[in-house]
Structure 1
């Protein structure tokens, strides 16, 4: 399946993330723990949920995959252990919007990495792609979920 890629200039993003090791689809409980760690007054600084998958699931065994369940947060958000601060700089990103269940995301990543990117003529930045959840799976039907995959590019 082919996807549409938009090249976008994106602002810098500051993420507060909670580490996870294991299959990417098993990150749900980590998001629940992340939610429970954020004190009520800090929610004003939370922008959206995101996830970083640090490893390629076609090359790393599922039980060894490293990821972070994250919230994009403002500069006023105090990041405290066990949360990690992860920053993505402003710049050019290849963005793929996936509509539908999260089970479609591995195919979109594979296509972006193996089909689109090699033919694009673009250069990759030294950062892994990350995904941004544009709506809430708690009150959105799986077929209506919207997820952006953001791949950092040079230039």
Structure 2
């Protein structure tokens, strides 16, 4: 189920990301590499959540050119070294859209946010792409109970 867009204040997040190129549906491979880096570096104590960033519109960008990052939300004390990259999203106003259920709904949710809500909203985005936060773990809940927030930074 794709919810309604709300505007709310969101705290700043620090992300440790690992790059992925290709279909967004294949981001699981990048998450596997991310998990390996955190396992090897004994960094789990710094993980506060999981997130992802898609930089390109899959409706206009060829699949093999799509860029994204699989990320963990991390504490300030987390060391971030290659192959990880540090990404910051500032605190402030965000348009937030929650999706309940399968990740296969995410393309429709992004279309709702970007093609329907945003043009009619009168809002201005902050020049950062939206990112998604996974509010629970697909290894711990059934697919129908997955919860994902898409957050678009606003001015």
**How many Å apart are 1:77 and its aligned residue?**
0.1
SS in structure 1 at match of 2:125? coil
- Name the CA distance, whole Å, in 1 between partners of 2:68 and 2:142: 25
Aligned to 2:68: 67
Aligned to 1:38: 38
1:33–1:2 Cα change, 3 Å: closer
Aligned to 1:108: 109
CA shift digits 1:69-92 (9 cap, x unpaired): 000001100001000000001110
Q: What 5-or-longer segments of structure 1 have no aligned partner?
A: none
**How many Å apart are 1:63 and its aligned residue?**
1.2
**How many Å apart are 1:135 and its aligned residue?**
0.6
Over 3 Å off, 4+ runs: none
Aligned to 1:20: 20
SS in structure 2 at match of 1:86? strand
**How many Å apart are 1:2 and its aligned residue?**
6.6
Name the TM-score, length of structure 1 as normaliser: 0.95
- Is the contact between residue 2 and residue 105 of structure 2 (CA under 8 Å) also seen in structure 1? no
CA shift digits 1:32-67 (9 cap, x unpaired): 110111146421211000000000111101111000
Equivalent residues in 2 for 1:1-155, closer than 5 Å:
3-39=3-39, 41-154=42-155
Q: Over aligned residue pairs, what C-alpha RMSD do you find?
A: 1.3
Aligned residue pair count: 154
CA shift digits 1:103-145 (9 cap, x unpaired): 0000000110000001111001110000000011112111110
Name the TM-score, length of structure 2 as normaliser: 0.95
